[in-house]
Structure formats: C-alpha cells, structure tokens
Structure 1
Amino acid sequence: MSFVSCTDITRATRNEVTQAVIRVVGLNASMDRTQRMVSVHLGEVNRSTHTDVYAGGKGLGVARAIKTLGPDVVVYGFVGGITGRFLRQTCEALGIEDRQTEIQGETRICNILVDDSTSQVTVLNEKGPWVSEAEVEKMLLALLGDCEEGDIVVLSGSIPSGVPSSIYRQMIEQLNPVGVKTIVDTSGIPLRESATAKPWIIKPNLSEFQELIGSTDIPSLKTVAEESRKFLNESTYAVIVTLGEQGVITVLENECFLAKAPKVPVVNPTASGDTFLGAFVVDLLQSGDMKNSVRFACGCAAANVMNFSPGIPERFDIGPLVEQVTIEELEVMGL
C-alpha cells in the first residue's frame, strides 16, 4: 500500500470485508486552537504567526483519522454551547455521523502553542463541562441502542465532571454480551476499571500504562511486555502500548513485538496517538493482520507528527513511512 487518500484506502472495507460499524465514544470533546509562534515567552505578550481551529479531544481525533482513511464512523459524547455547535458543524463537514448528546454546559476550549525556536509544544487543557446524570443516561441510551453484534466501539479520552469514573467499564460490561468489540484508550481510574471488564483491546500510552500497573518508574520494554500479558484473557485479545519515540509494543497471547516508526521532523505531535488508533482500527478491519495494522498505524502517526494541524493530510503519501516501520520480535516469559 503505497498511497493513501480519503477515498482509496478502504473502499472495500464495509462491503467486502466486514459489515462492522465503527463507533467512537469521546466524552470530553473540545474546540482546539493550535497557535504557531516564532518563540514562546512566559509572562510576556506572545503573537502567533498562524492559528488553526478544529474539533479536538481524543475521541474526535480518532474519528477524524478513521474518516480521512475512508470508512464511515459514528461519534458519541457530550457537546454544548457555541463551541459545541462548532464541533457539530465540523463533524458534518468531515462526514462524521454525529450522535453526541447536547448538554447545558459549554464545551471546553483547549490551546496548543507550537514554539518554532525550540520545537516544543505546550498544551493548555481546559477543564471539561459538568455533565448531569440525565445527560449521561441519554448518551448511554443512544450508544447502547445503536450498537449491534460485530461493531467496534472505541472508548477514548478523559471523563468530564459529573460523569462516573466507571462509565467505560459499564459500557464494556453491557457491550460484551452483545458481541461488540471494545477498544479502550483512557487513563487513571477509568483505565484501571475498564481493564477489569475485559475489553477487546487495551491501548494506553507509556504514562497511562504506568498508572495501570501502579509503577512510578519508567518500565523497561521487557517489563511492559510481561505486565501487558497479565491483562490478556478469553476476551482481551491484545494490549498495545504506545511509547513515543521508542515505538509501539503489541502483546498477544502467543506473540509480542516492538514496532518502530521512522525518524521524522517533529512539527506538532498533538493527536498522534489518536491518529495511530484510528488508522489501526481501519487497517485491522481491512486486513485482519495485527502486525500489518500496527505498521500502517505507525506510519500514519508519523505523518501526523510532521504537520502543524493534527490528522493525516489528504493526498499524503503514507507508503514510504509505512515501509520504514521496523518490527522486532520480543522474548517474553511464557511465550
């Protein structure tokens, strides 16, 4: 696969390979403003040279990547106020089916500062709005009422105020009996609770994985692999841990490997993990090959890093990046 466009990559995915519907739950969406600056100076007036405004939050980052690569995707979560209307308009413009629940609170605004002089990126995340119990119930009814056997549900991002930390666990426990495959990408207590509910795939980054296993020290690759194996069971098919520049460790029942993406010029790494996850889901539905899907996702994440705005640029040649992704088998106790 040498070239990716918004129409070419998965033309056959829904009709010829699977009828699965991809649904993304992103409970803490945001309007993101990325501002590029010659340099950033704290305590002084800073002026941007370029500003980009887009729908943010991990869930919408995943959905954007999925839709860019072709398949239909449905999003669930909470939106409210003027910024909430902006997110709905963005979903409509991108062709993302919007099943987000309207709330009385105002959707948050987050700011990303890109410093050209240091190549550092500073993220200012605003606290999410308060969500009422009735609004939570309405969102759950929408999701659970829509899901059918074989669907893929990605549970992505943090939990806004008012929403119980057990929300993702509750979703998994209700979706598993229906035959829905769940993928969890969150942190803290929601991640720990979700992991006990036996999701199909667990996908934390390194710091989230440290929280999951209760470690304050940065674990070695061997430790990441061995600790990941403890979460595999009859329902949890894989644990995928993204390690930033170190690569991605994937642990299956009888296999463990490390994927390393190519070295690329870093412009803005924001949403690279979300782009990885969206690309991974698309390719896994198409190919059914875990290694192939991780390699493809690594290439898409590298493309994300190289650009000022998050996501996979349309008409971008992903092929050379994917070809540079290396796979190394890891020896893990018990394999």
Structure 2
Amino acid sequence: MIYTVTFNPAVDYVIHLEDIELGAVNRTESEEIFFGGKGINVSTVLSNLGAENIALGFISGFTGKAIESGLNKNGIKTDFIELENGITRINVKIKSKEETDINGQGPVISHEAISGLLDKLKVLQRGDFLILAGSIPATMPDDIYEKIMERLKDSGSNIVVDATGDLLKNVLKYHPFLVKPNNHELGELFGIEINTEEEIIEYAGKLRQMGARNVLVSRAGDGAVLSAENGEVIKMGVPSGKVLNSVGAGDSMVAGFIFGYLQSGDYRDALKLGTACGSATAFSAGLAEKEKVEELMKIL
C-alpha cells in the first residue's frame, strides 16, 4: 500500500482577473478550487494512474470536510485526523498581471493529534511506501519527519521524502528510499550554486553517501537526473509542450516514479513515468490525468 501524509492541507481558491486594484471592489473573470498540499497532490496523481493509496494528515472545520469529501468522490481513500480547533487553511491564488498568493495559517496541531498520526502509521509493513512531502506547520515539532522515520525504521517500509534544507538533511541517517530535491534545492543543501549536469551528479552522489538510497533531482525544462542505489545515473529529458501550470509538477513526478517502480522494479521505467507525470501536470490546468500521461510516455 502507498500512504501519503499532508500535515497542512489547503483549499486553494484560484481567481483570475485582468488587474487588481487595492482598496476597491474587484470582480473575477473566472475561479477554480483545488484541494492542495504536496501529499494530497501525490495521492491525486496516484489515483489518476489507478494506484490505490491512502491519504493521511490533519483536517479541521468545514474546509477540512470539503477536502475529505472531495478526495473520496475522486476515489481517493483518506484516513485524516480531525482537529477540534480552527479550520483547514484557505490559500487564495490571484492570477492577474502579477501573480499574488495569500496563504492561510491553518489550525493548531496538538500533541494528541500528532500521537494519533504516529499510531496510524503503525500499520505500515514491509514493501509499503510512505510519502512525506512539504514543510512543517509552525505548531508542529520541526523533527516530526525524524520521529516518524525512527518509529518505522524496523518496519521494512520504504519512505520517500520531498523536503528541503535541514528537514531533508536530518532524515538521511534513516536511509529514505527516495529524496527529490530540485537542482536549486540540491545546491542549497551544500551552500553552493549548481549550474551543470556534472555538478548535479556529483552532489546527488553525496546525498547517497549521506544515507539516501535514491536521489531524484528535477530540473524543470531540463529534465531530471536519478542517482540510483544500484550505482546507475539515469538522465531523462522532458517532452516539448506549453507550460500552463508548475504547481504540483514535482509532486506528480514523485507519484509517477513510485508507481512506475512498483510496476516494474526498474529505475529507468520509474524515471520515465515520473517525468511523464510531471510534464503532464505542467502542460495541464490541474494535476496529471492518465490519458495525458500515456500520451507523453509514447514520446519520451
């Protein structure tokens, strides 16, 4: 089974208007609502591909109920912990001459709720996958990823970490199955600026030396590089297309990679499907759909 965790999900309210004037009444040209959060994005793409998975995390209030109901309607199983206080955050995305984001703070997550999540993770067993993705809300301990991985170190499960900075560095000692920085984030981990493919390969290798089993470095329009635990370095370009949306492309790549690996056990196949999923999201208004992914797989 594949599990995802989203600590701070959101209802993303996207509004489009030609221009915005502060201090005045502004009327939208169109509006969209998405259920956001990196783990939820991974769950959605997995479900679109036909991969059964369970979305875990914290929800609260009417917005939390909307996320849970919406995911269930889309065929995604959920096992959220419902908090007693506040509401799951609403993020307002203003698409105008300039893009502006107003992100909500989200509810306080109690120690009891964190303990409840750790208890739910006890079901993971050998061969299962757990995807930990995104930043940590201010009300949670900053070592929560470490606490989870410490609990699961003897379970035989495979943990994927899509995070940045110390949040990523501090879990390498637990040998995550996969980490997925982009090329800029990889450079930041080592306090340098990475400009070449050779540097990506070198520093992805360093992350493996520090404990990561596989390191997948996304490069936006320049494709991706995988430094695999079997010693292979696999490169993959991206198909040509018009980029409509960059939100969730990295999460889509993670979803495709894991599903591809589960299907074949081959890292090249996994990277190909991951790249197709990331590109399908980039070329779409929302997250990758199976039909678009299959179309791109034929030309990769």
The correspondence for 2:114, drawn from 130, 136, 150, is 136
Q: Distance in 2 between matches of 1:113 and 1:319?
A: 32
Q: Are positions 1:263 and 2:240 aligned together? A: yes
**TM-score of the pair, normalised by structure 1:** 0.82
Q: For residues 59 and 28 of structure 1, what CA distance do their matches in structure 2 show?
A: 9
- Please say if 1:318 is aligned against 2:299: no
**Cα distance in 2 between the residues matched to 1:81 and 1:266:** 35
- Percent identity, aligned pairs only, is 27
TM-score relative to the length of structure 2: 0.91
Residue in 1 aligned with 2:138?
Answer: 161
2:222 & 2:210 partners in 1: Cα distance? 29
Partners of 2:62 and 2:87 within 8 A in 1: yes
Q: Distance in 2 between matches of 1:40 and 1:192?
A: 42
CA spacing shift, 1:123–1:250, aligned 2, 3 Å: farther
Contact kept? 1:186, 1:208, Cα under 8 Å: no
CA distance in structure 2 between the partners assigned to 1:185 and 1:24 by the alignment: 11
SS at match of 2:284: coil
SS in 2 for 1:312: coil
Q: Deviations over 1:211-255 (max 9, x none)?
A: 32233x244222221111122259632100111112111112422
Alignment partner, residue 50 of structure 2: 70
Asked if the contact 2:160/2:178 (under 8 Å) is kept, the reply is: yes
Partners in 2 of 1:298 and 1:212 — Cα distance?
23
What is the SS of the residue equivalent to 1:178? coil
Which residue matches 1:127? 105
Alignment of 1:1-335 (within 5 A): 21-37=1-17, 39-41=18-20, 43=22, 46-103=26-83, 104-115=85-96, 122-143=100-121, 145-215=122-192, 217-232=193-208, 236-253=212-229, 254-308=231-285, 310-313=286-289, 316-325=291-300
Structure-2 residue corresponding to 1:8:
none
Amino acid paired to 1:280: F
Residue in 2 that maps onto 1:329: none
Once residues 15 and 268 of structure 2 are traced to their aligned partners in structure 1, the CA distance between those partners, rounded to angstroms, is 36
Question: What SS is found at the alignment partner of 1:159?
Answer: coil
Is the Cα contact below 8 Å between 2:45 and 2:289 reproduced in 1?
no
**For the residues of structure 2 that align with 1:275 and 1:306, how far apart are their CA atoms?**
12
Structural RMSD (CA): 2.1
Aligned length: 297
Shift of 1:285: 0.4
Offset of residue 88 of structure 1: 1.0
Runs of 4+ in 1 over 6 A off after TM superposition: none
Q: Distance in 2 between matches of 1:148 and 1:235?
A: 21
Equivalence for 1:333: none
Contact 1:242 1:248 in 2 (8 A): yes
Q: C-alpha separation between the residues in 1 aligned to 2:5 and 2:92? A: 22
Q: CA deviation at 1:121?
A: 5.3
Q: Summarize the Cα distance change of 1:317–1:84 in structure 2 as closer, same or farther, 3 Å threshold.
A: closer
Say whether the 8 Å CA contact 1:32–1:111 is kept in structure 2: yes
Report the more deviating stretch, 64-73 or 102-111: 102-111
Q: How many angstroms apart in 2 are the aligned matches of 1:241 and 1:121?
A: 27
Q: Which moved more, 1:55-64 or 1:280-289?
A: 280-289
* Deviation of 1:322 (Å): 2.1
- Of structures 1 and 2, the one scoring higher in RCO (CA 8 A, sep 6+) is 1
Kindly provide the amino acid, as one letter, of the partner of residue 13 in structure 2.
Answer: R
Unaligned runs of 5+ in 2: none
Provide the C-alpha distance between the structure 2 equivalents of 1:195 and 1:73, rounded to a whole number of angstroms: 25
**Structure 2 SS opposite 1:127:** coil
